[in-house]
Amino acid sequence: MVAAVVAVAAPAAGAVPSQTATDGTRTLTVSQAAGLDPAGQALQVDGAGYDETKGVYVAFCVLRPSGVAPEPCGGVGAASAAWVSSHPPGYAGNLATPYGPGGTFSVPVQASPTIGTYDCRQVQCGVVTRNDHTRSSDRSQDVSVPVSFTGAPADLPFATAAPESAASGSSSVRIRPVTHDPTPKLPTTVKSADGKQAKVTSADRIVSLNGSLSEIVYALGLGDHVVGRDVSTTFSEAASVPMVTRAHDVSAESVLSQRPTVVLADRDTGPPDAIQQIRDAGVPVVVFDEPTTIKGIGAREVAVAEALGVRPFGALLRARTTDEITAAKEDVPAKGTKPVVAFLYLRGQAGVYLIGGEGSGADAMIKAAGGVDAGTKMGLDDAFTPITSEALVAAAPDVILLTTTGLESVGGVDGLVKIPGIAQTPAGVDRRVVTEEDGLLFSFGSRTPIALERLVQKLHADAESLP
């Protein structure tokens, strides 16, 4: 819940008042909270008392009613949002600002009059903190300070319409089962990718902690047995299934509350203690290697089917997927220059701006769709590398590829071209931007043939215009 206890600091004569909010443990102070420049204004944001073991995003967001997470959040670049963490993931590089003593921080945040389609002169907006993507379901560090712009009413309403990036907006790409409600031949004993043995005696109540694995379960005809999912399971068939975890923030208690008979996970699903806690409760957990290439999909489908006692249908699904991928590739134009495509992983509210390279997963999709991956062409050493304007200009992509929510996080195409270097690329000049649903682009599941078919169409829709 967003902190509600607010104290306004007493300003000196003629000074612009700052404003502080506190939840009793954490305090958040914004250098100016009223009379902001309608064209946008830089604010200084200070915090104290935050848990140094948990990173937070500090951002300017649309505020929601009590108990509803503030979103969407605006801004482009590090000056518009900040990531504060003393223990960021390895890929973060220098993207995060470490805490000072006592869980303190001092960062700049840009307040903008609009965030996506929302006008902050018509609905409440403000500076907020919330735990970062490694603990996105933990709301313990939610604190907000409302701000207002010159000329706007002081009593603006909360935004109540669903944000454009709402997780409830399920994917429109449907799952096509190869069979319906097959009878598993159990028990099965399989070796997990983490080296542990798992004996599955029942597939009656399945919890899937990865969207790609969920796709496969549904494609095998076992969707009615899924009783829990994670945030990456976005397709419409699973919309009514309880969400038990978000990304890498598995709650063993939440998973176990669904009384699962088997839990499916990837190698990077965690934290490890939560996975072990589920196993200690007597529930088999089957961990799978996460493919980063299209070639790995078939083996994954068969592995899931084997664990759930329906191996023959896994072989059938693998054959269908292989045939559909082959058919999608046949639509790639045989002649003409291959477009250079840069995949950008963006989380504007956190100041995360990365370009994909070899091993990102997106590179395999780009290559299969008849494009050239810009990051691979540049010789990037890592799957994801912080974006620099020099690197973008050197890459000279014809097309920029993003996830749907990634583009939304920077304010759409108008916000994207404001990122240093974007406007100087051929893709930026032509505003040639392609998006795909987050759970579909490179999840490498049973819907990948459809994702590939769509990507081929988007990359080559105006191929004749490329040099």
DSSP-assigned states of every residue in 383-414: SEEE--HHHHHHH--SEEEEEHHHHHHTTHHH
SS3 state of residue 292: coil
Architecture of domain 340-465: 3-Layer(aba) Sandwich (3.40)
Closest C-alpha to 350, from 75, 127, 29: 75
pLDDT of res. 168: 36
Closest C-alpha to 348, from 437, 432, 408, 435: 408
CATH number of 188-329: 3.40.50.1980
SS3 state of residue 84: strand
Neighbouring CB atoms inside 10 A of 72's CB total 22
Domains 5-147 and 188-329 share a fold: no
Residues in the chain, pLDDT under 50: 1-14, 75-78, 164-170, 463-467
pLDDT tens digits for 358-370? 999 999 999 999 9
CA atoms within 13 A on the CB side of 52: 10
Q: Which residue has the tokens 């009615």?
A: 224
Both structure tokens of 367 = 């290559």
State the DSSP code for 20.
Answer: E
Domain parsing of the chain, residue ranges? 5-147, 188-329, 340-465
Closest C-alpha to 58, from 35, 85, 38: 85
pLDDT of res. 137: 62
Give CA torsion, residues 395, 348, 267, 138, to 10 deg.
Answer: 170
SS3 state of residue 29: strand
pLDDT of res. 232: 85
SS3 state of residue 131: strand
CA distance 26 to 297: 46
pLDDT of res. 462: 60
Specify whether the CB–CB gap between 234 and 213 falls below 8 A: no
Specify whether the CB–CB gap between 276 and 198 falls below 8 A: no
Spell out the CATH class of 5-147.
mainly beta
Length of the chain: 467
**CA-based max dimension of the chain:** 79
pLDDT of res. 348: 80
Specify whether the CB–CB gap between 201 and 207 falls below 8 A: no
Both structure tokens of 446 = 């049973």
Neighbouring CB atoms inside 10 A of 1's CB total 11
Closest C-alpha to 121, from 92, 155, 91: 155
Neighbouring CB atoms inside 10 A of 465's CB total 10
Tell me whether strands 118-119 and 125-131 are parallel, antiparallel or unpaired.
unpaired
Global pTM value: 0.67
pLDDT of res. 467: 39
Instruction: Please return the burial class of 315, using the count of CB atoms within 10 Å of its CB with bins 0-12, 13-18 and 19+.
Output: middle
- Give me the helix-helix angle, 297-307 and 311-329, nearest 10°: 160
